[in-house]
Amino acid sequence: MNNNKPLKAHLCMLIAEVIWGLMSPIGKDAMIHGISGITMVFFRVSGAMLLFWIAGCFVPKEHIPRKDFFLFAAAALFGVTCNQCLFIIGLSYTSPVNASVITTSMPIFAMMWAFLIIKEPITLKKAGGVAIGCAGAIILILTSMNAASHKVGDVRGDLMILVAQCSFALYMSLFSKLIKRYSVFTINKYMFFWATLYILPIALGDLQATNFAAVSSRTWMETGFVVFFGTFISYITLMMGQRVLRPTIVGVYNYVQPIVAVVVSVLTGIGTFTLYQGVAIVFVFSGVWLVIKSKSKRDIEASQNIK
């Protein structure tokens, strides 16, 4: 039975990345047709909170000390609130293609935070990866600045999504020990609970101003996809995959998301794919690959002990 664990983990990672690849064009279409960015964030966060609390009734309960309860409040600020607010609102401005490509930059930010917080050494390969990845991001942003259509991109959205990845990487660096202590359902129950409290006051004005009666059934279905599949299912499958697979393998799956998003965006006409975006993708992918493949502090120490 245990022999199936790696296979199930790979399948979980593939499902999560394919869903996120689909979520960019689907979420973008919903925000074009009646749902504002901040309203989408509120639906995503509060909907996921309800789903995780319902699912939590069917799994073993874990005791949460008061200290950890408030640690979840801090973790939710970076891991859910800032990350999802900036990503969704950024997506409402920029193209699904740019959004999905920029999300693959997260390992680069994770490396930078690891250097600043836990003094993880930056090797020549890592530095080269960061430089190449940043070059790709700059190409995307410059393409957005000169774009005549939002289908190519928008610099405001590109920058928001970059900061969203930076926020999530900071969350992973600061709260990795907290995350490892609890199950997928316990983590997300409390993370999304706090995130809903943070986002509600911000979203209240948009919620009151939205004419929900005029929103089409197609837009509601797209919003439901973002909440159920793009958040609830994808977060579960991602964490299940991360518990079994090495970080380098998990990182490789990041490349699935933009491939799916590009294909769906172009086929549906929500986005376009230009030569400059293609060049940017090559740069970003190459930079992330170099960062993922370079040795961590633990690897360097282990090799020194062997010698």
Does this model's pTM top 0.75? My answer is yes
For residue 230, the model assigns a pLDDT of: 93
For residue 73, the model assigns a pLDDT of: 94
Question: Rounded mean pLDDT of 241-264?
Answer: 76
- Rounded Cα gap, residues 251 and 291, in angstroms: 10
With a cut of 50, say whether residue 1 has pLDDT above it: no
Maximum Cα interatomic distance, the chain, rounded to a whole number of Å: 69
Rg (CA), the chain: 19
Question: Rounded mean pLDDT of 131-158?
Answer: 71
State the average pLDDT for the chain. 83
- The tokens for 141 are 């942003």
Contact 258, 161 (CB under 8 A): no
Q: Tens digits of per-residue pLDDT, 202-219?
A: 999 999 998 998 999 999
Question: Rounded mean pLDDT of 15-25?
Answer: 91
Measured at the alpha carbon of residue 125, what is the angle toward residues 96 and 281, in degrees to the nearest 5? 20
With a cut of 80, say whether residue 291 has pLDDT above it: no
For residue 305, the model assigns a pLDDT of: 45
Contact 87, 161 (CB under 8 A): yes
Q: Which residues contact 209 (CB under 8 A, 6 or more apart)?
A: none
**Bigger pLDDT: 54 vs 109:** 54
Could you identify the residue written with the tokens 């790709």? 136
The DSSP element (H or E) to which 130 belongs, if any, is helix 124-145
End-to-end CA gap in the chain: 37
Q: Tens digits of per-residue pLDDT, 31-43?
A: 998 899 999 999 9
Q: Tens digits of per-residue pLDDT, 256-281?
A: 888 888 788 778 777 677 777 778 77
Burial of 210: CB neighbours in 10 Å, binned 0-12, 13-18, 19+: middle
Q: Tens digits of per-residue pLDDT, 95-141?
A: 888 888 888 777 778 778 877 887 777 777 777 877 887 787 777 66
For residue 149, the model assigns a pLDDT of: 58
For residue 277, the model assigns a pLDDT of: 72
With a cut of 80, say whether residue 75 has pLDDT above it: yes
How does residue 30 score in pLDDT terms, banded at 50, 70 and 90?
Answer: very high
**Bigger pLDDT: 117 vs 150:** 117
- Rounded Cα gap, residues 112 and 123, in angstroms: 12
With a cut of 70, say whether residue 225 has pLDDT above it: yes
- Secondary structure of residue 36 in the 3-state scheme: coil
With a cut of 70, say whether residue 144 has pLDDT above it: no
- Rounded Cα gap, residues 79 and 241, in angstroms: 18
